[in-house]
Amino acid sequence: MSNDLLVVSNVSKTVEDVSGRLSILIDISLSLGVGQTLSVVGASGSGKSTLLSIMAGLDAPTSGEVFLGGINISKMDEDERARVRAAYIGFVFQNFQLIEHLTALENVMLPLEIAGGNKDKDIRVKGTEILRRVGLGERLHHYPRFMSGGEQQRVALARAFVVNPKILMADEPTGSLDHATGSRIMDLVFELNREYQTALVLVTHDPLLAKRCAVSLTIEEGRIANSPALKSFE
């Protein structure tokens, strides 16, 4: 486990609804190391988004354990999980989740401001550098409403990478984009994955996109349906 950034061990998730007890995830185990790439695919309702939430510490499993950087986050409360999450994970979502009244640069600077420990000038320099890296050096002071979907997702990527996360978790990152734009965004994701050696967990319904990852994991009715070499990532 010492070489793994993320370990999911025998994780299950159940909830209660009007019809009784519902199993969303059943005995899921996997691991992820530095710079490795993992896709999670499955139909709507299969449990893949719940798995992502548990891996990220946004939700807790009913049973089993999740380790981030060797730290068991499974039994932590939300505040404790949030502190660990901030140290390890960056997020990119389908709907970008930018703050509309902030410029591109201000959106990217925000995580650094929240983390503290940096001077305003340093934060501004870091934000500018990463926006230039994703091709938005000329759009620093534009608001999201004046940017295309592809540009907004580039801002979201810059915001995720500005804190140098050890793992990027991407939930349907191309779902709101046309095919050509989505393809360019994913090219950029994998470039940044290699450049920063940031591990990637990609939740997608697109099998072609999933195959770009070293390991592709299929979830059906809460279970791992295929048997990839989850430990080796070869």
Place of tokens 């230039």: 132
Q: Looking at the domain assignment, is residue 83 inside a domain?
A: yes
**Beta bridge pairs of residue 33:** 4
Residue 1: its pLDDT value, please? 46
Domains in the chain: how many in total?
A: 1
> How far apart, in whole angstroms, are the C-alpha atoms of residue 79 and residue 83?
6
Q: Looking at the domain assignment, is residue 29 inside a domain?
A: yes
Residue 20: its pLDDT value, please? 83
Write out the two tokens for 223.
């279970």
Residue 105 buriedness (CB in 10 A; 0-12 / 13-18 / 19+): buried
Check which CATH number belongs to the domain holding 99 and give it.
Answer: 3.40.50.300
Q: Looking at the domain assignment, is residue 16 inside a domain?
A: yes
Q: Looking at the domain assignment, is residue 234 inside a domain?
A: no
Tens-digit pLDDT profile for the chain (234 aa)?
457 899 999 999 999 888 888 899 999 999 999 999 999 998 888 899 899 999 999 999 999 999 999 999 998 999 999 999 988 999 998 889 999 999 999 999 999 988 876 777 889 999 999 999 999 999 999 999 999 999 999 999 999 999 999 999 999 999 889 999 999 999 999 999 999 999 999 999 888 899 999 999 999 999 998 755 444 443
Residue 218 contacts residue 31 (beta carbons within 8 Å): no
Q: Looking at the domain assignment, is residue 42 inside a domain?
A: yes
Residue 43: its pLDDT value, please? 86
Place of tokens 């140290």: 87
Q: Looking at the domain assignment, is residue 123 inside a domain?
A: yes
Residue 117: its pLDDT value, please? 66
> How far apart, in whole angstroms, are the C-alpha atoms of residue 47 and residue 223?
8
Compute CA 178 distance to the chain's CA centroid, rounded to the nearest angstrom.
20
Q: State the residue range of the domain holding 141.
A: 4-224
> How far apart, in whole angstroms, are the C-alpha atoms of residue 207 and residue 123?
38
> How far apart, in whole angstroms, are the C-alpha atoms of residue 144 and residue 102?
8
Residue 18: its pLDDT value, please? 81
Q: Looking at the domain assignment, is residue 231 inside a domain?
A: no
Q: Looking at the domain assignment, is residue 229 inside a domain?
A: no
pTM of the model: 0.88
